[in-house]
Amino acid sequence: MKDMEEYKKYWEDRSARQGELTVGHNSWNNEEFIAKQKEWINRFEPYWATLKRDGNTLDFGCGSGRLTKHLPGKVYGLDMTKNLIDIAKENDPDSNYIHYDGKTLPFEDEYFDSVWTCTVLQHIVLPEHFVEITKQLGRKVKKGGKLLMFENAALIPNKIHITFRNLNEYQNAFRDFEIELINTYVEVHEPHNLMIGTKIK
């Protein structure tokens, strides 16, 4: 993808065709999508439980909100794809879902105690966009706050909508955090890293 407009159009078009399934793997049907969602909730709940229960939590790239309502604290779901935010609001009217421009995070610095991303940063394929968004995300977290990420780390060529990054690349992107690998899970034959970081600066 050559620029942000093409990037945003890709996800708007895909969400118009696939609806909630946009945030799943292209090969999943509705039953597989629902089963995977349940599997992920069971997998990630022990790690979500380590996040601050009375703090502000951001689900960055929340999509249709499939995991947002399971997060602790006062939760905000943020996504640049309006179709998905509309679905999230319809399915979960009691949560805070925000549509943004994909460029500027609409929160004050050090607003969040915790940030969660689930197969989101891997889809930021433009290098300059990845650098800018990760800088902004880092600034939005309070000192001592947590960054919990689940992202594709396959050692294969990048795709039009995915850039595969390893642990070291995320550590370099979030230099104000101590980031460690919790575990690696295989999803559709590709390794995905579950990582957690604590903001130290």
Cα dihedral: 31, 7, 90, 96 (round 10): 120
Q: How far is the C-alpha of 59 from the C-alpha of 81, rounded, in Å?
A: 14
- Of all residues in the chain, the percent with pLDDT exceeding 70 is 100
pLDDT at res. 5: 85
Please report which confidence band the pLDDT of residue 3 belongs to, taking 50, 70 and 90 as the band edges. Answer: confident
Question: What does each C-alpha distance from 75 to 2, 55, 159 come to in angstroms?
Answer: 33, 9, 31
The candidate with the shortest Cα–Cα distance to 120, out of 142, 109, 105, is 105
What is the average pLDDT score of the chain? 94
The per-residue pLDDT for range 113-171, each reduced to its tens digit, is 999 999 999 999 999 999 999 999 999 999 999 999 999 999 999 998 999 999 999 99
Answer whether residue 188 shows pLDDT above 90: no
Statement: 4-199 belongs to CATH 3.30.1340.30: no
